[in-house]
Amino acid sequence: MSTNAAPALPSTRDENWRYAPLRGIERLQWTPPDALTAEAIESARAVLGDLAPATGTRWTFIDGHFAAALSNGPAPQIGTRAGTGAGTDAAADASDSGADLAFARLNRRHAGAPVTLHIPADTTLDLEVACVALSVGHPAFVIEVGRGAKLQLVERHLGAANALSNLGLQLRLAPGARVEHSRLLQPAAGARHFETLQLRLDAGAELHLVQLTTGGAATRSTALVELAGADATLRWHAAMLGAGQQAHDAYVRVTHDAPGARTEQAYRGIAADRSRLAFNGHMRVTSRARGANSDQTLRSLLAGPAAEANARPQLEIDTDDVRASHGATVGKLDADMLFYLLSRGIAPDAAESLLKWAFVSDVLAKLPDAALRARFEAAIAPLLPGAEAARSLA
Amino acid sequence: MLEIKDLHASVGGRKVLDGINLSVPAGEVHAIMGPNGSGKSTLSYVLAGRPGYEVTGGSVQFRGVDLLALAPEERAQAGVFLGFQYPVEIPGVNNVYLLKAALNAARKHRGLPEVDAFEFLQLVRAKMKLMQMDEAFLSRGVNEGFSGGEKKRNEILQMLVLEPALALLDETDSGLDIDALKVVANGVNTLRAPDRSIVLVTHYQRLLDHIRPDRVHVLARGRILRSGGPELALELEARGYDWLLAEAAA
Ligand SMILES: Nc1ncnc2c1ncn2[C@@H]1O[C@H](COP(=O)(O)OP(=O)(O)O)[C@@H](O)[C@H]1O
Ligand SMILES: [Mg+2]
C-alpha cells in the first residue's frame, strides 16, 4: 500500500457496511490540526464539564492530541506500533477483506504515532480516557494487558458540534488478563464518530465490554475480536439510543478460534423519531474452537413513527462441537405494560421513559460500578424524560 | 361514588357491554359475579380507560365527574384503582419505584408534596407486613417472576399504599389458596371506609365469606341481570347462573 494515496473509504455496497451512515463521507476533511491550542484546551474543558475526581489515571485527548492540562496521573507513552506485539498492521490487513479496516487505515495515515500502553503482568490499572473531538481527530491506542493483569478502562468520546473523529484502538489481552471496558460514545450535535476496534484475547483472558452510543449525527463502530486462546471469554453488552435523524451502526465480528472460547452478547437499541439503528453481531467459530459457546440476544425497540431498527445475528460455524444460541427481535413498547403504568397514575411520557429505561437496563446493569452507571445514565437521561428517579433502579 | 348509566362498549369490534346500570354509593362494597365471558373484565377496563375498549353509549360519573372524559392516568390520580385479573410483568421497572411514582402522582393531583423517603418506606413496610410479603419483593421488577398468588398480593399492596377512593378488584381471589385468600381479604377489609367504595369481581362465594358485600350483582351477556344482598351470592353458589339466564331469556 502506498503511504501517499488516501485509503479507499468503504461504501454501503461493501459487505458489513450496508447500514453504515456513510453518506457524504467522501467530502469530509480528514486532516487533523497539527497541534493543540490554548483555545482548544478551554473548549475541551467546557465540553468535559465537571471532571469527577479521578480515582485512577485520566487522560484527555483533543482531536487526538494529548492534553496534559486536562489529565491526571502518569502521562501516556507515545510509541510506535513496531514491537508492541499487538499484531502487525500488514498481518491484520491481509486477513481482512479491506473494507472492514478502511477506517483503521485512515486512522493510521493521520494519527501519527499511537499511544502505547503496556500493563505489566499481574498488575492493576484504572484508566479513564476522554477523547474530545473539536474539529477532526484520529485518536490511536495500542494497549497490551500483561499476563494476569487487570485493566479497568473507561472510554468517553464526546466533543463539539459537527466534529469528526475516527478512533483506532488495538487491545491485546495476554493469558489470564482481565479487562472491564466501559465505552460511552456521545458525539455532539451534528458530529460523526467512526471507530475500529481490534481486540485479541489469549488463553483464559476475559473482556467485559459495555458500550453506550447516543447523540451526534452518525456513528459507525467496527469491532473485530479474536478469541485466540483457549477458554477466552468475551462479554459484549451494547446499547444504542437514536433520536432526531441520528444514524448509529455497529458491526461486531467475534472469531472463536480456540477451544472453549465463549461469547455472551446483548444488544439493546431504541430508535426514536426518525433515527436509524443497525447492529450486526457476526459470530465466527472456526474448526479449532471445539466446545465454543456463543450466546446472542439482539433486541430493538421502534419508538418513533419513522424510525428504523435493524439487528442481525450472523453465524458462521465450522465445527460441530459448539453451543450457539441467538435471537433477534424488533418491537414496540408493550401496550399492556404501558397501560398498567398509566393505570397506576403514571403520566404517558414517564411511563414510556420507564419502559425504555427498563429496556436498556439489561446493558447498563453490566457496568462495573454504580458511579459509572450513573454517569452513563446521565448521557441518555435527556432522551427519557419524566422518569429520572427511576435511573439505576431499573 | 360511582354511577354507571346504560353503558355500552365494544372490544375488537365486538359488542360486549349492552346497557350496564350500576350505582355504588360511598362506603359500600359491591360484588359483581357472572359466568366467564360475560363482560366483567371489560367493565373494569372500560372504567380504567384501557385503549381498545370503546364506549359506544351511556355515561359514568365518579364523584360527580365524567369519568369517561379522563385519560387513564387521570382516573388513577383521581382515585380509581384497578386490581388486574392478570397483572402484567414489567421486568426492569423496579417494584418500589412504581409504588413511589404512583403514590407521588396521586399526591401531586391532590396538591400534596412528594412523599418523604423515610415515611414512604415505613408505610410500604407496614403494608407489606399486612400482606405477608417479603421485603425482597420491593427490589424486584414489577411482578417479575412472581407466582400468581404473589402478583395478586402485589396488586393489593399497591392498593393499600395508594388508598384509592374506588377500588375495582378483578378476580383478585382466583388462583389463591385459602391462606392467601384470607390475607388478601384482610387487606381489602382494612381499606373499607365511609368515603371509599370497593367493587369485587369474583366467581366464588368463598371470597365473600371474608369480605361481606353490601350488594351483589349478576353480570351476564353484558347486562346486570339481577341485584340483591349477600344472600344472592349464596343462591348463585347453590344454583349456578343458568336459571337466571333462563329467566332473563323468558
Ligand atoms: N381484546 C378483545 N378482543 C375481542 N374480544 C374480546 C377482547 N377482550 C374480551 N373479549 C370478549 O369479550 C367478552 C367478555 O370478556 P371479559 O370481559 O374478559 O369477560 P369476563 O371477565 O366476564 O370473563 C368475551 O366474549 C371475550 O371473548
Ligand atoms: Mg375477567
Burial class (CB in 10 A: 0-12, 13-18, 19+), B240: exposed
> HSE of B35 in the Cβ direction (CA atoms, 13 Å)?
14
Q: Tell me how far apart the alpha carbons of residues B118 and A359 are, in angstroms, rounded to a whole number.
A: 29
What is A192-253 written as a DSSP string?
EEEEEEEEEE-TT-EEEEEEEEE-SSEEEEEEEEEE-STT-EEEEEEEEEE-TT-EEEEEEE
State chain A's mean pLDDT as an integer: 91
Task: Please say if the pLDDT value at position B144 is more than 70.
Answer: yes
Q: Tell me the pLDDT band of B248, cut-offs 50, 70 and 90.
A: confident
> Each residue of A240-276: pLDDT tens digit?
999 999 999 999 999 999 999 999 999 999 999 999 9
Say how many Å lie between the first and final Cα of chain A, rounded. 50
Query: Which cell is A183 given?
Result: 465505552
Q: Tell me how far apart the alpha carbons of residues A188 and A47 are, in angstroms, rounded to a whole number.
A: 9
Residue A338: which of A380, A387, A282, A283 has the closest Cα? A387
> B interface toward A at CB cutoff 8 Å?
48-51, 71-73, 75-77, 82, 84, 87-88, 90-94, 96-98, 100-102, 105-106, 109, 141-142, 158, 162
Position of cell 502518569?
A74
CB-ligand 1 contact for B172 (6 Å cutoff): no
Q: What is the pLDDT of residue A88?
A: 45
Task: Please say if the pLDDT value at position A138 is more than 60.
Answer: yes
CB pair distance less than 8 Å for A393 and B97 = yes
Which residues of chain B does A362 touch, with a Cβ-Cβ cutoff of 8 Å?
A: 92
Residues in chain A: 394
A385 touches chain B (CB under 8 A): no
ipTM for this prediction:
0.96
Q: Tell me how far apart the alpha carbons of residues B178 and B6 are, in angstroms, rounded to a whole number.
A: 37
Task: Please say if the pLDDT value at position A87 is more than 60.
Answer: no
Q: Tell me how far apart the alpha carbons of residues A49 and A72 are, in angstroms, rounded to a whole number.
A: 16
Residue A119: which of A155, A148, A146, A87 has the closest Cα? A146
Position of cell 349456578?
B240
Query: Which cell is A87 given?
Result: 499484531
Residue A145: which of A120, A170, A114 has the closest Cα? A120
> How far is ligand 1, taken at its centre, from the CA of residue B37, in Å?
6
> Each residue of B79-123: pLDDT tens digit?
999 999 999 999 989 899 999 999 999 999 999 999 998 999 999
